[in-house]
């Protein structure tokens, strides 16, 4: 496993400043708690990131929510017939992926889904998400810093807005006053 010295829990940790393409394959793990921690410009083309069997316990023996792909910086493009699967444990679905707002020396993460199947929830925690083609078998979940991000979708992509939000002309917009 790789990651920062105190958090070596990932199958892959992709570093900022790199351009990486993963194509025509499958990544899965039963020991990692996260398949891919991404800070790079990443293209997933006809890839399967299968997080269904990610480790279910943290270092203290407690259950936790897992991330199959965590986007902390860089531009991520999920294309082809890619599939991202989240872990489901005792009926609780973890996250297929997330988008993050800049922190420290990192920039906002941008994610574009163009022809992929997302099996699990997507955490919106800032950054940018563009949904152009594909299927979401899960929910968009409002996370911290969602108001600092942008989420857009084409009409062909079906995804319900999270509670307190609605789609206006393809842009996720907060409902004021909150319903």
Which pLDDT tens digit goes with each residue over 12-67? 999 999 999 999 999 999 999 899 999 999 999 999 999 999 986 655 555 667 89
For 90, the 3-state DSSP assignment is coil
Scanning the structure block, which residue is given the tokens 């039963």? 30
- What pLDDT sits at residue 107? 78
Q: What are 103-148's pLDDT values in tens digits?
A: 676 778 999 999 899 999 999 998 899 999 999 999 999 988 888 8
Query: What number of CA atoms fall less than 13 Å from residue 39's CA on the CB side?
Result: 14
**Of all residues in the chain, what percent are helix, strand and coil, respectively (each to 5)?**
0, 55, 45
Measured CA to CA, the distance from residue 29 to residue 167 in angstroms comes to 36
E-strand ranges in 29-164 read 34-38, 41-50, 67-71, 75-85, 88-89, 92-93, 95-100, 110-119, 121-125, 128-137, 140-142, 150-153
How do beta strands 165-168 and 171-174 pair? antiparallel
Q: Which pTM value belongs to this model?
A: 0.90
CB atoms within 10 A of CB 26: 10
């Amino acid at each position: 496993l790789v990651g920062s010295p105190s958090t070596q829990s990932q199958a892959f940790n992709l570093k900022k400043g790199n351009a990486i393409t993963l194509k025509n394959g499958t990544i899965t793990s039963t020991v990692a708690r996260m398949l891919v921690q991404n800070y790079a410009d990443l293209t997933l083309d006809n890839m399967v990131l299968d997080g269904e069997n990610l480790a279910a316990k943290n270092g203290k023996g407690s259950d936790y929510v897992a991330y199959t792909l965590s986007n902390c910086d860089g531009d991520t493009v999920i294309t082809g017939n890619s599939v991202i699967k989240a872990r489901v444990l005792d009926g609780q679905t973890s996250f297929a992926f997330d988008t993050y707002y800049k922190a420290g020396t990192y920039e906002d993460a941008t994610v574009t889904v163009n022809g992929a199947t997302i099996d699990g929830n997507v955490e919106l925690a800032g950054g940018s998400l563009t949904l152009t083609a594909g299927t979401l078998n899960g929910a968009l979940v409002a996370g911290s810093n969602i108001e600092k991000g942008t989420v857009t979708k084409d009409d062909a992509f079906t995804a319900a807005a999270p509670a307190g939000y609605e789609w206006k002309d393809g842009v996720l917009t907060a409902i004021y006053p909150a319903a």
